[in-house]
């Protein structure tokens, strides 16, 4: 249940209600809000005089539900707004991994030259094999921060686990919670304590219910700036890396109030399929795309097969604008 308290309620009474209901207390849109589990279906008579408005929910998708807030949330990513009523499709580009200053600088120059605003690059890589490149760590984070200063871009990178989440919060503008880290409550609870945007990727074996509930950890902790990212799920198919769940995206658009980003690079796993998938995603009127680009994908230290070269990325950006225009959106 979500409960909006009356403006006249003082701090002591709010604390009493929080304890009585075993609730989360947050400030949202200028209101004192209590959130309990969805098992509470009726308002206790003892608190009726304290309540301005309340919503009994069908499941623990609560703050992210359109039943609670019908309008899509608006999240600021640097100087670009994603979600809300902007009709922006934010194109986030850059390499899978930060590999050197020369490499990430060339990516920043590309993003800036195309009039885009958000640069991606992995610094802590959650690789399947312990013998694979694990990322540059803090050194990579500092390089991303340097690109932000030099080119005026917002930067996003992935948290591998909770041991370095504070470093990522300090050095980046947008925190990415990866598919393998989606269940890491240490990361989610740390993200809840900041007001920076948090992009949560769907786990490859995760239901939509579980996916959105991960966002509730951040929302219920007081950070309203959450974006969901569909990046493909594991199915019986073996010819592609994963299966991009556009049906799931349609469900998220219908039932949640969170901006939605799609990652066709990780879903497909091969560069030849990224552009067609990105166009299909754009045609759905989605809020953002996360697409990997590398100056020379053949020598990339991670996910070489799925990264576009700069010419391919530039062509894709041009083509996406045509698709976006057809559905009333703009690539930014």
Task: Express each pLDDT in 19-48 by its tens digit.
Answer: 999 999 999 989 999 999 999 999 999 999
Q: Which of 49, 26, 45 lies closest to 36, judged by CA?
A: 26
Run of H or E residues at 177 = strand 174-177
Q: Are 202 and 225 in contact (CB under 8 A)?
A: no
User: Directed axis angle between helix 246-255 and helix 274-283, to 10°?
Assistant: 30
Tell me the pLDDT of the chain averaged across its residues: 96
Task: Give the pLDDT band of residue 201 (cuts 50, 70, 90).
Answer: very high
* Helix (H) or strand (E) segment spanning residue 320: helix 310-326
CA dihedral 57, 27, 173, 289 (to 10 degrees): 30
Choose among 185, 100, 108: nearest CA to 140. 100
pLDDT exceeds 90 at position 312:
yes
Structure tokens at 141: 């984070």
Residue 130: per-residue pLDDT: 83
Amino acid 143: pLDDT? 97
Tokens representing residue 22 in the block: 């075993």
pTM of the complete model = 0.95
* Residue 233 to residues 91, 124, 127, 303, Cα–Cα distance (Å): 21, 22, 17, 17
Q: Given this model, what pLDDT does residue 197 score? A: 98
Residue 156 has pLDDT above 90, yes or no: yes
Burial class (CB in 10 A: 0-12, 13-18, 19+), 108: buried
- Report the C-alpha gap between 231 and 126 in whole angstroms: 15
- Read off the pLDDT of residues 158-173 as tens digits, 9 standing for 90 and up: 998 888 899 999 999 9
pLDDT of residue 125: 81
- Other CB atoms within a 10 A radius of the CB of residue 37 amount to 14
pLDDT of residue 263: 98
Percentage, residues of the chain above pLDDT 70: 100
Instruction: Read off the tokens for 84.
Output: 């809300």
* pLDDT value of position 265: 97
Mean pLDDT confidence for 188-210: 97
Strands 51-55 and 288-292: unpaired
Q: Look-up: residue for tokens 């979600």?
A: 83
What percent helix, strand, coil does the chain show, rounded to 5? 40, 20, 40
Q: How many CA atoms lie within 13 A of 313 on its CB side?
A: 29
At 252, the pLDDT band (50, 70, 90 cuts) reads very high
Q: With a cut of 80, say whether residue 308 has pLDDT above it.
A: yes
User: Which residue would you say has higher pLDDT here, 200 or 164?
Assistant: 200
- Pick the closest to residue 161 from 140, 179, 186 (CA basis): 186
Q: Cα torsion at 90, 156, 297, 112 (round to 10°)?
A: 60
CA dist 101 to 145, 205, 236, 264, Å? 11, 35, 40, 26
DSSP E strand stretches across 102-153? 118-120
Summarised one tens digit per residue, pLDDT across range 102-146 is: 999 999 999 999 999 999 999 998 777 887 888 899 999 999 999
| Alpha carbons 46 and 41: distance in angstroms, whole number | 15
What gap in Å lies between CA 297 and CA 40, rounded to an integer?
52
CA distance 28 to 5: 11
State the greatest distance between any 2 C-alpha atoms of the chain, in Å, as a whole number.
66
Q: What percentage of residues in the chain have a pLDDT greater than 90?
A: 94
């Amino acid at each position: 249940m979500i409960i909006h308290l009356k403006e006249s309620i003082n701090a002591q009474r709010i604390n009493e209600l929080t304890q009585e209901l075993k609730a989360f207390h947050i400030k949202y849109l200028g209101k004192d809000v209590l959130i309990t589990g969805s098992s509470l279906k009726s308002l206790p008579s003892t608190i009726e005089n304290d309540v301005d408005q309340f919503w009994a929910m069908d499941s623990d998708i609560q703050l992210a539900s359109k039943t609670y807030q019908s309008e899509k949330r608006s999240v600021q990513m640097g100087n670009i707004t994603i979600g809300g009523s902007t009709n922006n499709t934010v194109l986030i580009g850059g390499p899978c991994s930060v590999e050197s200053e020369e490499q990430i600088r060339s990516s920043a120059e590309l993003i800036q030259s195309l009039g885009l605003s958000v640069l991606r690059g992995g610094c802590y890589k959650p690789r399947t094999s312990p013998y694979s490149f694990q990322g540059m760590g803090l050194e990579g984070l500092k390089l991303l921060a340097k690109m932000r200063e030099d080119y005026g871009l917002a930067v996003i990178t992935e948290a591998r686990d909770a041991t370095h989440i504070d470093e990522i919060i300090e050095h980046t503008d947008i925190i990415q919670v990866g598919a393998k880290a989606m269940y890491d409550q240490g990361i989610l609870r740390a993200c809840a304590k900041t007001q920076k945007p948090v992009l949560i990727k769907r786990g490859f074996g995760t239901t939509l219910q579980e996916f959105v509930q991960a966002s509730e950890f951040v929302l219920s902790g007081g950070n309203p700036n959450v974006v969901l990212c569909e990046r493909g799920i594991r199915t019986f198919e073996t010819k592609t890396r994963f299966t991009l769940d556009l049906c799931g995206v349609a469900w998220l658009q219908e039932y949640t109030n969170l901006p939605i980003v799609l990652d066709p690079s990780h879903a497909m796993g091969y560069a030849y399929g990224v552009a067609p998938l990105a166009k299909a995603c754009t045609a759905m009127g989605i809020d953002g795309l996360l697409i990997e680009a590398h100056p020379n994908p053949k020598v990339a230290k991670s996910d070489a097969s799925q990264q576009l070269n700069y010419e391919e990325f530039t062509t894709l950006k041009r083509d996406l604008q045509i698709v976006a225009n057809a559905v009333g959106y703009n690539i930014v």
